Amino acid sequence: MSVQTLAEQATIPPNSDSIASSPFNVDSFNEAVMSTYARFPLALERGAGCRVWDTQGREYLDFVAGIATCTLGHAHPAMVEAVTRQIQKLHHVSNLYYIPEQGELANWIIQHSCADRVFFCNSGAEANEAAIKLARKYAHTVLDIEKPIILTANASFHGRTLATITATGQPKYQKHFDPLMPGFHYVNYNDINAVEVAISELDEGDYRVAAILIEPLQGEGGVRPGDVAYFKKLRQICDETGILLIFDEVQVGMGRTGYWWGYEHLGVEPDIFTSAKGLGGGIPIGAMMSKKFCDVFQPGEHASTFGGNPFVCGVALAVCQTLERENILQNVQARGEQLRAGLKAIAAKYPHQIREIRGWGLINGLELTSDTQLTAADIVKAAIDEGVLLVPAGPKVVRFVPPLIVTEAEVNQALQAFDKAIDQAIVVKGSGD
Ligand SMILES: *Cc1c(COP(=O)(O)O)cnc(C)c1O
């Protein structure tokens, strides 16, 4: 069966009633689903490419992509084909056995990064948990540190498990969940002096810094790119001291920035790094990569039932190969430049509201001024009304993370809609809201 036939069979055509479902009821949803999310008032039903449709049939340009995740957009034929093929062949068997797809995906990652070894799991938090465990075991067994400390950055984001909210340098994610995990210490991002001070001050008794866990570009924390000189110095400090350098590439990895990995923008390679969001193009998968020298896990020391199963690995491999075959990284760079240029032109029209445009490739942030009453959420709401989906990155930054296949025309359309949205948001705020 050809790719096209499988794709046609599996894709639900727009406005089709072929899958019966009762009309969406927000009250019954809120009764049943635990209220862990503040959701925007829309229910999405289907998608194609960079567009999604809500349950009312309204179309949106998707510049969220499942939060920097759906790299190939929605219902991409290569994903439809891979999902269909893999579910018909074999989807889950556990890591009691060898899984050929897992080996193939690991090899693809190794060939396209500085990694020598890969461990598969299901999410970004879980990948960071694996990195934290690996760093702690390395500290105990190689660095001979009794009480290892991991440095992380203020305004970082590393996930929602107990260890990763502790690693996350933002009190709002930790409140009411204490006692937190011991063994973490925070430093300001892009401030090398703070790292040097922490390393020397924390070297006391059984305590010593064992690893630095950091994002090449802070995503959730406001789309803040890492500084090249800072990261080069981090690498140098780690080389001199044996401290492990761990990069959280969950949001910026897998082509999002126009390179496969965020660290390529910084000219330094980590010892360990993690990936998730874009890795499977929207299929739940996470991974932790390491250099050979820090691969200290023995059989039985870390595991995941679902981790690296044939289904997710088969699909993620198809996503990786499609990005590569279709030269998507080039598109990411070109569309990123187009988007930033367009946003800068809009920013010039609203100097009292917009402070700065920044980002790499197709992860970009628009920061509002501290003077304006407008919040990122106000703008995101106004953009929904104009037919574009965006996501805040903190209270004052609007984030643009479209699928990596976004076209020139779609970027232009999003810019036009965004221009109207900001105008509208100003009117609403100005009228006493
Ligand atoms: C989203 C994110 C995570 C957490 O990933 P989950 O899959 O939600 O657990 C961790 N680190 C970074 C940098 C992220 O952006």
- Which member of 119, 157, 184, 247 is catalytic? 157
pTM, to two decimals: 0.94
Asked about 344 being catalytic, the answer comes back as no
215 exposure class (CB count in 10 Å sphere: 0-12, 13-18, 19+): buried
Are 145 and 208 within 8 A, CB to CB? yes
Here the tokens at position 383 are 């953009």
Q: Where in the chain is the domain with CATH 3.90.1150.10?
A: 3-69+327-429
For a mutational test of ligand 1's pocket, the pick from 213, 250, 283, i.e. the residue with the most ligand atoms closer than 8 A to its C-beta, is 250
- Which pLDDT tens digit goes with each residue over 45-66? 999 999 999 999 999 999 999 9
CA-156 nearest atom, ligand 1: 13
Contact 75, 11 (CB under 8 A): yes
Location of each CATH 3.40.640.10 domain in the chain: 80-325
Decide whether any atom of ligand 1 lies within 6 Å of the 224 Cβ: no
Q: Is the shortest distance between the CB of 222 and ligand 1 below 6 Å?
A: no
CATH fold for the domain made of 3-69+327-429: Aspartate Aminotransferase, domain 1 (3.90.1150)
Reduced DSSP (H G I as helix, E B as strand, rest coil) percent helix, strand, coil of the chain, to 5: 40, 20, 40
- The C-alpha angle with vertex 212 and arms to 210 and 214, in degrees rounded to 5, equals 160
Within 10 angstroms of residue 404's Cβ, the number of other Cβ atoms is 28
Mean pLDDT in order along the chain per 10 residues (433 residues): 43 49 88 95 97 97 98 98 98 98 98 98 98 98 98 98 98 97 98 98 96 98 98 98 98 98 98 98 98 96 98 98 98 98 98 98 98 96 98 97 98 98 91 45
Burial of 123-139, coded b for 16+ CB within 10 Å and e otherwise, reads bbbbbbbbbbbbbbbbb
Phi-psi region of 327 (alpha: psi -120 to 50; beta: other; left: phi over 0): left
Q: Closest ligand 1 atom to the C-alpha of 251?
A: 15
Q: Which of 295, 276, 292 is nearest to 284 (CA)?
A: 276
**Is the CB of 159 within 6 Å of ligand 1?**
yes
According to DSSP H, which parts of 224-304 are helical? 228-241
248 in catalytic set: yes
Is 400 a residue of the active site? Answer: no
Q: Name, in order, each residue with C-beta under 8 angstroms of 1's C-beta and a sequence gap of 6 or more.
A: none
Domain 80-325 carries which CATH code?
Answer: 3.40.640.10
The string of pLDDT tens digits covering residues 160-188 is 999 999 999 999 999 999 999 999 999 99
**For residue 27, what are the contacts with CB-CB under 8 A and spacing of at least 6?**
none
Q: Residue with the nearest Cα to atom 6 of ligand 1? A: 124
Catalytic residue (one of 62, 271, 277, 297) = 277
